[in-house]
Amino acid sequence: MKGKGCGWAVVGWGGVVLIMMILVVQCLTSIGSVSAAAQVPAMFIFGDSLIDVGNNNYLGSLAKSNYYPYGCDFRAGPTGRFSNGRTVVDMLGNLLGLPYVPPFADPNTTGTRILGGVNYASAAAGILDETGQHFGQRYSLNQQVLNFERNLDQLRPMMSGANMTQYLAKSIAVLEFGSNDYINNYLLPSLYSSSYLYTPPAFANLLLNRYTQQILALHSLGLRKFMLAGIGPLGCIPNQRASAQPGRCVDYVNQILGSFNEGLRSLANQLNTNHPGAIFVYANTYAAFGDMLNNPALYGFSVIDRGCCGIGRNRGQITCLPYLVPCANRNQYIFWDAYHPTEAANAVLAWRAFNGPPSDCYPINVQQMALI
């Protein structure tokens, strides 16, 4: 990567490469939307608000972020990204040499604009269709796969069958799901019955079974390179901390995520065994995010327990409202609002997924996957 004032400071800790936070942010923010020659033809992105880049702008949803101060550090301003700046997938695309991947719901996402990939992620979306329904419209995992199929119908006339097969096989699919199935389903017993019907391990098993069906559907449609992101420590987000003992995360919430994350890593192993022509990578979001929370100073962070923009205890009881004044020192905050990371935290997560060791990205990282 090259850019004005761009450099990496690297030290080792516990066998894991540590990127000094300020230099990561400087590097990822100093360069344009394309950093180098594209290493893959396209990136297809499936997920929720952590990586939504504007799909919910076009839906009848309460889960939107197309207003200031969201995007206050993004060159295009508020776009529907749930952060002050770029998302993890914006930065991953940057590292892969791709332009910003456009949202599926944008009417302009058509024709040659979809050749570099499409982002289907939708705020409040989950693996289960009912997850997040109290927010209104959203593209669930099932619907996002259907939306991908619609784009395939548009892509086929643009290239020969052989070229299409190669194009899909070389492209990267990023899937990031599960957070909403917990915080906007299982952990809301007043609105959803799942916690009465399933123990935490049984619920994780339900999610993984449904997830597997759609991952295999995407494989059957031609995709061969998959990054499957685990769930981060949800018990430590400001929204959850607001109900915990001062200075503590909600331990129960973090504990019940173990069954899902361990199962997803095992699923990646199983899929790699059963589909030798494909590669399925598990991104250990929980560990990467947990390291920032446990060692914030190593990354230049000084505030780990509250949002930069929000209202109430930990600035997490009510998330960032229109024209609320955010904190000034945003690069020192891990959390932007009640639920989502700052651009600074996203930079660390993107770099560790792209270039991290097997403890971050298993069995290989995104950079290595791009070379296959």
Collapsing DSSP to helix, strand or coil, 128 comes out as coil
CA–CA distance, 49 with 64 (Å, rounded to integer): 9
Active site residues: 49, 337, 340
Cα distances (angstroms) measured from residue 328 to each of 263, 316, 332? 40, 17, 9
Tokens 């993984």, located at residue: 208
Give the separation between CA 203 and CA 112, rounded to whole angstroms: 41
Please state the φ and ψ torsions of residue 48, each to the nearest 5 degrees.
-125, -155
> How far apart are the C-alpha atoms of 147 and 312, rounded to whole Å?
38
CA distance 132 to 115: 30
Question: Cα(56)–Cα(103) distance, rounded to whole angstroms?
Answer: 9
Write the CA distances from 111 to 104, 118, 123, 151, integer angstroms: 12, 12, 25, 9
Contacts with 325 (C-beta within 8 Å, 6 or more apart), sequence order: 69, 309
Place of tokens 């059957």: 220
Per-residue DSSP letter, 85: S
For 121, half-sphere exposure in the C-beta direction (CA atoms, 13 angstrom radius) is: 33
CA angle 218, 340, 3 (to 5 degrees): 80
Query: Helix H segments across 221-356?
Result: 238-241, 251-274, 285-294, 343-355
